[in-house]
Structure 1
């Protein structure tokens, strides 16, 4: 289901529209418009641009940090990491077996 546009009059007696998601969450609220035909034109412009709009990332470039490892008191930090090594080794072996079983098989002559 698509979003819903609602036209309303704000506290300053201007026309505005809001875009609501199917579950009722307000996604966007427009700028004020003087009359109803202009707010309808604003909705048409929003519909036209929304599907094809480009995304511009204005966030500053930052280094992605690894999540901190939490060690409970009374446990050995090295022992916490050993099971992960075993799981990684199992996954690597599983990939090798899968590659071997999916090799092309040529049956008969053409």
Structure 2
């Protein structure tokens, strides 16, 4: 199920919208708009951009914590550590191959057969 946009008046008598998840949690609240046509245009822009928005990580590296180990270390199979973000990836890690597979799957028709 998709999220729900709610239009409301804030305390300063400006129009705003909020995006709520299907379970009712508020995901985002807009900036203030002067009138209803402007808030409707803001909702249209949010709908258009939300699916293709890029993610920019602004968190400092030091803020990432390692998860606590709840299992004995000897019981966990050893895996090679993934390359750090600043290390260049090589074609041998399968990154480009996997990206190509994902692009191919995304460009394939979603529905096949007669309706």
TM-score by length of 2: 0.57
Point out where structure 1 has 5 or more consecutive residues left out of the alignment: 70-80, 90-110
- Residue in structure 1 matched with residue 25 of structure 2 by the alignment: 25
For this pair of structures, how many residues does the alignment match? 76
- Residue in structure 2 matched with residue 14 of structure 1 by the alignment: 14
- Residue in structure 2 matched with residue 67 of structure 1 by the alignment: 68
Name the Cα RMSD after superposition. Answer: 2.5
Alignment CA distance shift 1:68-1:15 (3 Å)? same
Q: Post-superposition, which runs of at least 4 consecutive aligned residues in structure 1 deviate over 6 A?
A: none
Larger radius of gyration: 1
1:65 Cα deviation after fit: 3.8
Q: Take 1:42 and 1:88, find their aligned partners in 2: how far apart are those partners? A: 49
Point out where structure 2 has 5 or more consecutive residues left out of the alignment: 78-115
Alignment CA distance shift 1:41-1:65 (3 Å)? same
